[in-house]
Every structure is written in C-alpha cells, then in structure tokens.
C-alpha cells in the first residue's frame, strides 16, 4: 500500500500519512506524491477542501532521518521544498487532524492549514536546533506571528515537545478531542466547509493569506538555503547518526 493515501469524497481530498512502521516519517517519494496531489487539487475546482491526517496514535515523525543522511535535499527543486511551496500556494482551505507525535515538518505544515484539530495525545515538536538544523516551512516567520515571540523562541530554540492543551492555549490548534474522534470530527468539518460556496472559501483564504504571500515565499527560500547548508554540517550528521543508532547525540565538540 502507498505511504500516502489519497481519498476523494465529495469536495474533500484527504491525504493520509500511511507509513506507520516508520511513524509516518516523510520521504522524498512521499513529498513528491503530496506535491503532485496538491498541485492537481489546486487546478481542480471540484476539490473544495484538503485534509491532512495520520492515525489515532501518530501524525508524523517528520522528515525521514535516514534520507536526510543519505539523500539530503540538494536544491529548492527537492521534493520537500516542492511540497511546501504547493501547500503554501494551495487555494482551498487546508485542515489537519493531528494525533500523537507531530515532529518537525509534522508541526510546521500546520501553520499552512486553516483549521487544526488534535487528539489529547498530540505532541508537537520543532527539534531543528537539536538536530543541528534550522526552521523550515516559513515557521521562523509564521510561528512567532501565531503563538507570540516568547513561546516561538522557546519552541524553536529548545525544541522540547509540547502537548495538546498547550497547543490549544497558544492558538496553534482549534480544538482538542479524544484521539479516536479526531479524524471523524475533521472529516465532518471538511464536509461542512465543502458545502459552503467554493469561490467564497477560496477568496476568504486568499485574503487572509495575501498580505504575507511574498514574505512567506522569501522566508521559505532563505530558510531552505540555510537548512541545506546545515544539513551537510557535522552537528546534523551527529544527530541523525545518533538517532539511527538509538543513542544520545554528542555535540560537546560542535
């Protein structure tokens, strides 16, 4: 079965991360499929809403760490950046249903979603610094705007996980539910939105996002440049090697 499931029901396109053995870690092939699906959706008036989801115990463990080591994104044409551009340019409202860990891009992609509901087991983290990396997905711009400077600096610099109740308090999510109910709740929300006039949905999203569009693109570009540089560095290598060897990283000389 594919690592990303695509389901169309009415006007709702649902993209399900489905690589459970690796905790839904995202590979280049998955980003490519997601980017293609979003680009096709953007050009398809019949798609009124897009939903991202995982399973009741897992949203995504972020980028595949093995791929970061073996096949790091080498340019802005890399699938991960293509996916992020397609997501930030998506004209339809995007929704997310988040249960369990949402690591790295598993959290930053939420900043490009209009509505996010999560399970009370959700655990968000932005461990970029702890991996020798830096923020992506324009999160260095969008996170402080969304949750305030103090909280964003804490989340991005310390990279410690935070739970659903804190995410709700910070305004990162709209609602917290029992994990078994989240996907169904978001599907019902998506169906409700899909019944609204599509042109008004798109116009409302476009107007809400427009003032930032050029800035988001610029920040994504700047982040990608820095991210690619850091990916080749010794701290990132040590972090990824340690994760795969199931040991703690040693940054004492870095």
From the list 37, 41, 39, 61, the residue with the least C-alpha distance to 49 is 41
State in angstroms the smallest separation of the CB of 64 from ligand COA: 4
Structure-block tokens of residue 55: 């399973």
Please give the residues from 127 up to 146 whose contact with ligand COA meets the rule CB under 6 A. Answer: 127, 131
Q: What beta strand segments (E) does 114-163 contain?
A: 115-119, 123-125, 162-163
Q: List the structure tokens of 1.
A: 């079965």
- Contact yes or no for 64/26 (Cβ under 8 A): yes
Closest to ligand COA by CB, 185 vs 243, is: 243
In angstroms, the CA 42 to CA 45 distance is 8
Binding segment (CB under 6 A) for ligand COA, from list 17-25, 146-154, 180-188, 201-209: 17-25
The full DSSP string for 136-161 is -TTHHHHHHHHH-HHHHHHHHHH---
Half-sphere exposure of 2 toward its Cβ, with a 13 Å CA cutoff? Answer: 13
For ligand COA, the closer CB: 194 or 231: 231
In the bound complex, what is the minimum distance in angstroms from residue 18's beta carbon to ligand COA? Answer: 14
Place of tokens 């991960």: 80
Kindly tell me which of 79 and 101 has the beta carbon lying closer to ligand COA: 101
Contact mark string toward ligand COA, 225..244, x via CB under 6 A: ------------------x-
Determine if 101 is a binding residue for ligand COA (CB under 6 A): yes
* 52-71 residues near ligand COA, rule: CB under 6 A: 61-66
Q: Which of 79, 104, 135, 179 binds ligand COA (CB under 6 A)?
A: 104
Q: How many helices (H) and strands (E) does the chain have?
A: 11, 9
Please report where in the chains the tokens 């709702």 appear, as a residue. Answer: 12
- How big is the site for ligand COA, counted in residues (CB under 6 A)? 15
- Least CB distance to ligand COA at residue 7 (A): 24
Residue of the chain from 37, 87, 98, 103 that contacts ligand COA (CB under 6 A): 103
**Which of residues 156 and 198 has its CB atom nearest to ligand COA in the complex?**
156
Q: In b/e form, how buried is each residue of 183-197, taking b as 16+ CB within 10 angstroms?
A: beebbebbbebbeee
- CB of 66 or CB of 144, closer to ligand COA: 66
Closest approach of ligand COA to the CB of residue 5, in Å: 19
Using the structure block, give the residue that is written with the tokens 């897009």: 50
| Nearest distance in Å: CB 152, ligand COA | 17
At 103 the three-state DSSP class reads: strand
Q: CB-wise, 43 or 248, nearer to ligand COA?
A: 248
Contact positions vs ligand COA (CB under 6 A): 22-23, 25, 61-66, 101, 103-104, 127, 131, 243
């Amino acid at each position: 079965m594919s690592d990303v499931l695509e389901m169309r029901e009415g006007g709702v396109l649902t993209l399900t991360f489905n690589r459970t053995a690796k905790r839904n870690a995202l590979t280049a092939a998955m980003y490519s499929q997601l980017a293609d699906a979003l680009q096709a959706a953007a050009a398809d008036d019949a798609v009124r809403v897009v939903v991202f989801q995982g399973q009741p115990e897992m949203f995504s463990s972020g980028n595949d760490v093995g791929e970061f080591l073996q096949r790091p994104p080498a340019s802005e044409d890399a699938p991960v950046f293509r996916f992020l551009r397609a997501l930030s340019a998506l004209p339809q409202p995007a929704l997310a249903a988040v249960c369990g860990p949402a690591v790295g891009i598993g959290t930053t992609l939420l900043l490009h979603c209009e509505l996010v509901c999560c399970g009370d087991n959700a655990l968000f983290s932005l461990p970029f610094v702890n991996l020798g990396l830096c923020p992506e997905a324009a999160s260095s711009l969008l996170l402080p705007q969304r949750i305030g400077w103090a909280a964003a600096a804490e989340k991005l610099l310390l990279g410690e996980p935070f739970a659903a109740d804190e995410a709700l308090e910070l305004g990162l999510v709209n609602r917290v539910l029992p994990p078994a109910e989240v996907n169904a709740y978001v599907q019902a929300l998506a169906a409700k939105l899909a019944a609204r006039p599509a042109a008004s949905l798109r116009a409302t999203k476009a107007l809400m996002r427009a003032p930032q569009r050029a800035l988001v693109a610029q920040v994504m570009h700047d982040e990608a440049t820095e991210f690619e540089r850091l990916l080749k560095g010794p701290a990132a290598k040590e972090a990824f090697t340690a994760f795969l060897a199931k040991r703690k990283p040693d940054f004492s000389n870095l």
